[in-house]
Structure 1
Amino acid sequence: MQLAFPNAIYLVDAIQGEESLVQACKPALESSYITKVIHDCKRDSEALYFQFGIKLHNVVDTQIAYSLIKEQEGKKRLQDDHISFVRLLADPQYGGISYVEKEEVRVFLRQDPKFWAHRPLSELMVRAAADDVRFLLFIYHKMVEKLNERSLWFLAVRGALYCRCFCINNNNFADWPTLPTVPETLIAGNQAPEEETLSVLDVPPGKMGFVIGRRGANILAIKEGCSAFGIRTFISAEIIFGSDKGPPDTIFIIGPVRQVRKAEAMIRGKLQQHYH
């Protein structure tokens, strides 16, 4: 785990330091008063939750923020066009930096999936790990100054839902912090954004391909059918798959309640068509 502060970067080695070292970070990672800046927090949150029992909270996800900025500018994001950290860092607005080490590490990972388990850490490993977080605070400040109040609320609530996304439990996330409420200033004029939610759907084993469809045709149609233009921002339901990283045979839907319920109904309808 890498932690970047304005004046230092810390690499928290869970292999050498063991669980107690990560647990020492738990109060900060779960704090409502400390903002955590992460790019695509879903898998990080999943790892912290299942390996260490940590509920990542108060996250600003720069992947979500980038999409919101584009939507504010009137640019509709294509379905599944989630900007990678490498692409974000290469954007002149957010650094214009070429992240060469990332590709080098990917090559090593393809050759050796246990690349990050080797100790001691090589110079490349240390540099790549540090660079994963080195520029996040700079990007965060650049993004926040561009976001309006409505987008900042979406950023907070979507970040909270993304943190929960793969962290399936048996109590419907009752032990997680509550979601951010809509600011009073946005409620004025009966134009408050719709409540957001996370839905988890289990798909019968072996049937995920039917839900997705040939070349993704079914799921693309569902995603397009579950988009709606809201006031001053483009609102859509995100449909996320556990994929081979797990959890398998599970679909996660995040977005405005009505769009999420519509997506649920369309997915169930596809499954019923298959069985009939």
Structure 2
Amino acid sequence: MALSDNYPLVQVPGAQGLWHILSRSPGYSGDAWCHLVPGKDKAMLVDTGFGIGDLKGLVESLTDLPVFVVNTHHHPDHVLGNPQFGSVFIHAMDAPGLRAQMTAPRRELPPDEVRQYNYTRGDLIQPAPYAVETVEDGHVFDLGGGYEVEVFHLPGHAEGGIALLDRKRRALYSGDALVWTPTFCMSSDPDAVVTPYMTVEKFRQGLTRLMAHLDEFDVLYPGHSRLGISKQIVPDMLACCDELLCGDKSAAYRVPGRDKPVHVHGMAKIAFDDNRIHVS
């Protein structure tokens, strides 16, 4: 299949039968990764990106297996392609936010992006109802042939943020919780309601459980930026959380365009707001 057949989506072959699919940004966030994870009997699609282009058609060209979707969290840059699929799985805490997007109008494409990438209105996946099935921490998806993928709840960036541990491939699909760029425990909206599960403190609790399984994976495939991150980011992120929780709010730099401080420890980076560090 020619790349242009599914433009603006870009497919990248990965190790052990994986496919990584880049969903190009329409101008208000970084490009997002989706991951197609085949087993023996079925395949799991991790996230659906910005909802621009025929993601379902591309996925069906890459595997003959039946495919189900798992969202790492409910933010639009990871879920707007969901209406192409009949149902999706998501952590229970993020299900309300996901359902709210089903009838929300699509944001218009910024003119500069339309010109640069040749998007058209017809490339947009329009909002539509679909089934939402919820999972909790510890849920295991069985793809057949020994391919089992476990859910790890990693709140902080989103209340219901998750990572997915693919033990047979020794890989972690880490969403926006563990990325090469900063993990955002911050908000662009100063009036946003902050819940306990949107804090560094709760993020650290989730990381602690993941640390106990550090010997079960070698590489991370996140929702943005660089693929194939070393698992060293997990202990580094724990240390980064600990420093913030102990009051070290030093900033190596600030997020461009958002003026938010970024605390750094080793590979780990956390962009934070003061009210999103401790559970109040």
TM-score (norm 2): 0.24
**RCO comparison, higher one (Cα < 8 Å, 6+):** 1
Higher strand share: 2
TM-score (norm 1): 0.24
Whichever of the two has the greater Rg, that structure is 1
Higher helix share: 1
